[in-house]
Structure 1
Amino acid sequence: MNSSGICLGDDEERCIKKFVSLETRIRTSPKYHLMACLIQKNMSTLLQAIICLLYNEVLFLKNNRNLIYESSNIRLCRKFNEFNSPFKAIQFYNKTISKDVWKYIAITRNPIDRFISNFIDRCIRKPTKGIKSCNGCHFNMTCFIISEYNYMLKESNSLVLRREFEDMHFFPQNWRCSFRKMISNYTIIKYQNKNNKNIEEVISSLNNIFHQQKVPNSTLEFIKSQLLSSRTMHTTVDTKARTFFEDRLLNSPFLMEYIVRMYYYDFKLFNYTIPEINF
């Protein structure tokens, strides 16, 4: 078997299901009719900060806030524009904003790139439970991939999902944002944390959307200048650890098969190429 036969026919039951309801984190800018869904490790901290700015530019600038340093723990817009469902946001604003005028945004990422970035950040750099972090595997990527695959397989058939900190970062992207019902409503922006050109492409895509929503040019320039000035504290692209683990993963057909089975529907739904694996 090669990768073209994975998750097809009888093999589908060995792959992680699509559209399981894990969580949805919606941030809104009613002024510009924008609704963004945050997916961890997909520029989520920056996207949250940008939507906070667009929620109230005067408040954001008056408080001397900075898009780069606006972390989740100290976010200015906490509880002001936050919902756990796009439907709840629509209902909340229903008296003043028609449901048909909202522009929905989500940022996705190549599943392999996202997995490596999460593994470095959560299991190597900042393990939250010491040696018990990452399913007790800590630095052992093989151990973690196998155990997380088994957890995903179990949870995708469970009525109540476990919500471990690692899971919120590693579970499939398509399990979020109410994609089961809303995926066709979203404008999907692809993010790849490889170099400045990739970042510039994301900024350009976002600013094109914001321009369509009548965001002033001065605000667009502020967003662009801030995002190009620095990388966030979670960035792993320049680390030696990333190079080591990325090479190890990509050169292991055994591990890559697990990754494809875990994220098959992320590859398919968000139009990423499934890597060729020769067994």
Structure 2
Amino acid sequence: PLSELKIAQAAKSYRMQEKLIKNISSLLENIEEIQRMNSDILPNRLFAGLSAAQMCQPHRNQCVQPFAKIRPLIVTAPNHNLMSCLIQKSMSTVMSAIFCYLLREKEFIAAGRSILREYPDIRFCEGKNEFKSVMAMERGLQSNGPQFDKWKFTMVTREPVDRFLSGFIDRCIRVGDSCFGCGINMTCFLEEELKRAAKYAYGDSHGFWKPKITMEDIHVFPQNWRCDMGTFYDRYHFIRYSNDPSETLLEDLTPILRSQNVSESSINYISESLRSGRTAHSTVKSAARVFLENRIRHSPYLMELIVRLFYYDYTLLNYPLPDLDTLAEQKAFQSDSTM
């Protein structure tokens, strides 16, 4: 059972999150400064004429390589032979809460907990179902051989531009991190993250120095670097993030839960919880998000940087690659039209 202090801390956190949602909404609707800092004229593509796949051919050495190692965080529901690897900006706190609920359903509800309001510092299952690697999970649960083969590995994935924008807005605007001196300039931040990721991947694969991972990095670096994916890629079932949980998120999650003998009442509780609101960090409906997404998705230069940083997230996680040539043609047409 939780101590009275822990219960009070959770209640306080839930109240603060409700206030935070209102404050963030106000902050991200006041976008004059964001527009001012993101209105510079953008350059043309560096690799004009090359498709995303051509640009990222290994011999060109222009795109960040896959499977660099970042220590994962894994949550488990051993009663259902089910695990999920958590990735920041891909519903990590929500998935942690879902797996806590699956493990301790009655206690979770009796304690007045909410799937959308669990935070890392107040999580109900802290230390009870968490592991720092697949091998640590296997050892800790004493599950190996045929028993280990029964486990279903899951991971929530997110379309790379969508995840990058969420990370940038969260860390550089909402939290106010320095973002490598870029502040709220998205172009500067994307350029810096590409450089840092390239150095990290090279250092990881060659045993050389690599940058120390920052909070900004952990919210942006490629998804395929997590989850011991270089070893266990074929074991993972990918759950596609969707801003509206009624779409791909529940479409992918529900059959996985059923396959592991999660009851229909529990599945309904999870579904209703996800549909009931949004987390305190959600930025998807803000004016700032709309402005920045329009800027990045319509810029051949910025989208080229995105592809160079996340090429293997696109290909390994089954997201369609952007058509960089079409973007360049659209930009040229718009330029001609304004002359």
Q: TM-score per shorter chain, which class?
A: over 0.9
Which of 213, 219, 234 does residue 169 from structure 1 map onto? 219
Q: Deviations over 1:6-38 (max 9, x none)?
A: 111532x11101000012110000111111100
Instruction: Note if 1:24 corresponds to 2:72.
Output: yes
Query: Which of 131, 151, 161 in structure 2 is aligned with 1:102?
Result: 151
User: What is the aligned counterpart of 2:294 among 243, 247, 261?
Assistant: 247
Report the 3-state secondary structure (helix = DSSP H, G, I; strand = E; otherwise coil) of the residue aligned with 2:90.
coil
**In structure 2, what is the Cα distance between the partners aligned to 1:203 and 1:79?**
27
- Answer whether contact 1:2 1:276 (CA < 8 A) is retained: no
> Is the 1:110–1:192 Cα contact (8 Å) retained in structure 2?
no
Q: Which runs of 5+ in 1 are unaligned?
A: none
TM-score (norm 2): 0.77
1:134 partner SS: coil
Alignment pair present for 1:263 and 2:313: no
**TM-score, length basis structure 1:** 0.93
- Alpha-carbon distance, 1:95 to partner: 5.6
Residue 109 of structure 2 aligns to a residue whose secondary structure is: helix
Report the Cα distance in structure 1 between the residues aligned to 2:195 and 2:313, rounded to whole angstroms.
18
Change (3 A) 1:235 1:185: same
Superposed, which structure 2 residues align to 1:139-154 within 5 Å?
139-154=184-199
Q: 1:228, 1:192 → 2: CA distance? A: 12
Q: Answer with 1 or 2: which has the greater Rg.
A: 2
Specify the SS of the correspondent of 1:177. coil
Query: Percent identity over the alignment?
Result: 40
**Secondary structure of the equivalent of 2:76?**
strand
Match of 2:43 in 1: none
Amino acid at match of 1:67: I
Q: Structure 1 residue 184 and structure 2 residue 234: aligned? A: yes
Structure 1 residue 49 corresponds to structure 2 residue 94: no
Secondary structure of 2:179 counterpart: coil
Contact residue 3 and residue 274 of structure 1 kept, 8 A: no
1:107-146 to 2 correspondences below 5 Å: 107-127=156-176, 129=177, 133-146=178-191
Report if the CA contact (8 A) 1:38-1:106 is conserved: yes
In structure 2, relative to structure 1, the CA distance for the partners of 1:276 and 1:204 (3 Å cut) is closer
**Which aligned segments of 4 or more residues in structure 1 are displaced greater than 4 angstroms?**
none
CA distance in 2, matches of 1:167, 1:199: 30
Of 237, 255, 262 in structure 2, the residue corresponding to residue 208 of structure 1 is: 255
The 3 A distance-change label for structure 1 pair 103 and 95 is closer
What SS is found at the alignment partner of 2:237?
strand
Say whether the 8 Å CA contact 1:191–1:199 is kept in structure 2.
no
Q: How does 1:71-86 map to 2 (within 5 A)?
A: 71-86=119-134
2:335 alignment counterpart = none
Across the two proteins, how many residue pairs are aligned to each other?
271
1:156 is aligned, of 191, 201, 223, to 201
CA contact (8 A) 1:200 1:228 kept: no
Alpha-carbon distance in 2 for matches of 1:24, 1:206: 20
Q: Partners of 2:198 and 2:252 in 1: how far apart?
A: 34
**Equivalent of 2:271, from 224, 246, 251?**
224
Aligned mates of 1:200, 1:270 — CA distance in 2: 17
Bigger mean CA deviation after superposition, 95-104 or 148-157: 95-104
Provide the rounded CA distance (Å) in 1 between the counterparts of 2:150 and 2:101.
Answer: 20
> Relative to structure 1, is the Cα distance of residues 108 and 95 closer, same or farther in structure 2, using a 3 angstrom cutoff?
closer
1:235 is matched with which residue: 282, 290, 306?
A: 282
Secondary structure at the counterpart of residue 90 of structure 1? helix
Alpha-carbon separation, structure 1, partners of 2:190 and 2:116: 31
Structure 1 stretch 246-255 or stretch 155-164: which is displaced more? Answer: 155-164
Structure 2's unaligned 5+ residue stretches are: 1-48, 329-339
SS across alignment from 2:89: coil
2:46 — aligned with what? none
